[in-house]
Structure 1
Amino acid sequence: MLNTLWVAHISQTGLVRGPRARRSRSALQPVQMLEARCLMSATANLQAYRPVTQFIDSSAYPISEADESSATLGAGIRVNGDDDNGNGRADYLDLLPSAAADNDLVRVDVIGEGTTFVVSWTGSLAVWTSPLKDAAIINGGSVGNGQSLWVEYVSQAHTVGASTQLQLEVSDGASVATDTVVFHSFQSVVLAIAGNTQEPSRFGDPTLGVYTIAGELYRQGYDVQLYAHHEVLKTGKGKVYDDVVSGVLSRNVNSVAIIGYSWGAGAAYNLSNALKKTKTLAPAGYRLTYTASIDGIKHRSISAETRKPVGTAYHDNVYQRRDLLPRGNKVSGAQNLNVTLASWGTHLRHVTIDDHPTVQQLLVDNLTARVIA
């Protein structure tokens, strides 16, 4: 500092300017590096995601830090009791790599700062290096920073409270950090069935309101499946029916919710009728806990769907009467809402009713109040 002032004074007298004094950094760098090392400590973070679901990019739905320790809002996981590879036994009994990715495994990323990373767990979990189950990770084994783990639920019995956890421990030799994700097994499934010309491959399109509702429920932690109306046959059977039966009998799903728009609502009635007639479901715990129709139209008809889904414990029926055709109507025994009579809904028509935020929020609120994930 003195040298700097002296150079400035001489220059003001008109004498020859000397070289500017510089503080030597070479002596300080080791001190600064040592100080930085002393301030560093181990960090640990497990980033879990919502379940792998067809048509939805699960990587776009990370579970928040606030929710990851919740036994209801945190990492939901399916009982992997179905038989994707057709070998006659539950998938969770398969210990060899599979030919295709298993969509019942949940992705969890390992993130942290340190020299050793160890993962351990409690409850009925298995942890793999990939969704193909290429290699198992040992409970208490080492993992790598930046590695994606794939977690499987390997029991037919549901989780209890927060007893099923995955924990990461990171050490740098001087300090230790941990992070925990709580898993809960899905007890329910939510089906979203859209109307004519609407396909689940267009998930994210804001004009497909029933899928927007499904996306919000997925974000909140529900196991959501998206369908087109033609995946339900006139008999009520078809792909949607097969998936529900498999879920109840193989994955211990005991609560089903269905939201249908337009022909999707008519298809939901046919589906509910077929499920009610399937004698193996009730002994396995099947319950149709919640249903909703948005301007319901009988499947492949132009008439209003005025039948309440068979066996439902609660049915929301939201409809409009502005259009001449198609338009929904009152359903006996349902919670009916004619939006044409509401100040906020007088302008809604068949093609816009499912896109209105008030309609969407109403159904999300009513479902979440009645259906446990």
Structure 2
Amino acid sequence: MKAYISNLPVLTSPDKGETLYVYLAASKESISAVLTAERARSQIPIYFVSRTLQGAEVNYLELEKLTLALVHTARKLPRAETTEEEEIPSTQIIVPPIEHGEWKLFTDRASSFDGSRAGLMLDSPEGKEFTYALRFEFSTTNNEAEYEALLAELRLAMDLNIQYLKVFVDSQLVANQVAGTFEARSPTIQQYLTKLKELKVQFKGFEIEHVKRSQNKKADALSKLASITFTHLAKEVLVETLEHGSIEAEEICDLYPDEEDTWMKPIKDYLAYELLPEDKGDARKIRIKAPSYKLQDGKLYRKSFLTPWLRCVGPSQATIIIQEMHEGVCGFHAGPRSIVAKIMRLGYYWLTMHQDTVTTLQTCESCQIHAKVQKQPKQELIFVLSAWPFAK
């Protein structure tokens, strides 16, 4: 093994006008490529790059993996600097396509005696800059603070509905761990990477690149300013204080997720894909109802006159909401009309609210036991006079 390592070929620089060859390789979990040149009847390596496959990339076909290796190599290759007198034809180099609307995000972390800080600088495709500062109220290591800043910037990009994002960090370790080149052995860093992968899939295009600290001066200045005071930053820089770590934050999820085939499906299909039922009458009803609804983050909302947008729910969630409002922790065993009004004030809606509430409340055992007993006859009594005594 020692002899093999000592005899490894050394990467060299290509000569001017020299023909280069690219060799691609793909395995089940990784891809790699090597750029070589033929000199003295032997292959001399020029450039080498490898990457670990992530997520759905593991299930790619062999040809798709090789194509991905070629694209990844083209993006990693250093660009040759040219002058006006000497221009390289576009057919000799591979330039990766720039995604339309790509945002650039620079981040840096700074430490002080009372905690870690981070500065974020977001550049829009039009050239506008957005500055952002973070302050951590919990103890973190240097790498953990880098990941906290990275997760915070991804959440910020998601709030701005950014589709294509390229992140620049001055930590080579974090950049390579996120890209899959380096392996994370710490359990805490592995949790951060898992959280990061969950957010990465929300973007159509995501890249991370390591930059030198001298190229990241603005983000470094923001991270240091956040540790001084917030008073002078309030008007110029957005400042956020993180009280808990991202991997420690509690996540709230629906115990009863929305069903797929409900009354909401035709409206969702029309708002998202403009699909209508085949029946003309049903299609006309959907067109009339659609302006009163809005689709956001996969959830359907209905416009209300006196309250904010109402979250539309399915049958399973509707049953749980009725039971909680009627006999739950905040329930007071009220009638159907009061329960429906309370549900709408809390921001929920479905088509058969009144009918479902009446049906559910009729099965409440406590209401039946403690209900007032009606002693008055339901109909008026009719007196029957006897024709003679003891007549039946």
Which of the five TM-score ranges fits, normalised by the shorter chain? under 0.3
How high is the TM-score relative to the length of structure 2?
A: 0.22
Structure (1/2) with the larger helix percentage? 2
How high is the TM-score relative to the length of structure 1?
A: 0.22
Instruction: Kindly name which structure, 1 or 2, has the bigger radius of gyration based on alpha carbons.
Output: 2
Question: Which gives a bigger RCO, structure 1 or 2 (Cα 8 Å, sep 6+)?
Answer: 1
